[in-house]
């Protein structure tokens, strides 16, 4: 068995762990225009970032893109068991407090993206945005990677989480839509 297929098996295992969390909290994910993600090419996926639940949505559609690597801040690695599952799924953790190291990590990740036709998933707002009517200013990393690697940017829009009442701290079962754009 090759190293790449071993890594793929570990990645699938990690995503399956996360998918079970989605079942426990009773959130159903629906992907629209997923064929954009299944194309065999490198790309940078950008998405709006509302909540930690976005990560669950990402892992629930992971199988569509097949070769994918998400980027997250390194502090998330220490949120167990999520951090371990994310690591096993192939999440690339960066230190946002050390821009030089973060840049090196992103550069190495983009080289792998080109070589292996992998997609890199980033949340360009850089943090969660609870305002569903507007976006926060985008960080430039995702766009710099796409330009440097000469790969397309694929926007993935996640619908608002109507099933979460942040004021009353109530979380109901619900349905979220992820729309891929070209």
pTM to 2 decimal places: 0.81
Predicted local distance difference test score (pLDDT) of residue 106: 79
DSSP string, the chain: --HHHHHHHHHHHHHHHHHHHHHHHTEEEEEESTHHHHSSS-EEEEE---STHHHHHHHHSHHHHSSEEEEEEGGGGGSTTHHHHHHHTTPEEE-TT-HHHHHHHHHHHHHHHHHHT-EEEE-TTSS----TT-PPPPPSHHHHHHHHHT--EEEEEEPP-TTEETTTTEE--EEEEEEE--
How far the first Cα of the chain sits from its last, in Å, is: 35
Regions of the chain short of the pLDDT cut 70: 1-18
CB 73 within 8 A of CB 96: yes
pLDDT, residue 10, reads 52
Lookup: tokens for 128: 């969660």
The pLDDT value recorded for residue 107 is: 79
Rounded to whole angstroms, how far apart are CA atoms 80 and 38? 30
99-109 confidence digits (pLDDT tens): 788 878 877 88
Q: Which fold has domain 1-180?
A: Glycerol-3-phosphate (1)-acyltransferase (3.40.1130)
Quote the pLDDT of residue 7.
46
Instruction: Domain ranges for the chain, please list them.
Output: 1-180
């Amino acid at each position: 068995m090759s190293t790449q297929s071993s890594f793929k098996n570990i990645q699938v295992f990690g995503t399956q762990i996360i998918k079970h969390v989605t079942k426990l909290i009773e959130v159903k994910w629906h992907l629209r225009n997923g064929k954009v993600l299944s194309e065999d090419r490198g790309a940078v996926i950008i998405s709006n970032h509302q909540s930690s639940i976005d990560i669950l949505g990402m892992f629930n559609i992971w199988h569509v893109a097949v070769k994918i690597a998400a980027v997250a801040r390194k502090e998330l690695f220490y949120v167990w068991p999520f951090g371990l599952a994310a690591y096993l799924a192939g999440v690339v953790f960066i230190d946002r407090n050390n821009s030089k190291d973060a840049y090196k990590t992103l550069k190495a990740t983009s080289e792998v993206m080109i070589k292996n036709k992998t997609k890199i998933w980033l949340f360009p707002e850089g943090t969660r945005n609870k305002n569903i009517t507007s976006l926060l200013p985008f960080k430039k990393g995702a766009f710099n990677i796409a330009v440097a690697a000469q790969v397309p940017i694929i926007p993935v829009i996640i619908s608002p989480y109507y099933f979460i009442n942040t004021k009353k701290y109530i979380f109901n079962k619900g349905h979220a839509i992820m729309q891929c754009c070209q």
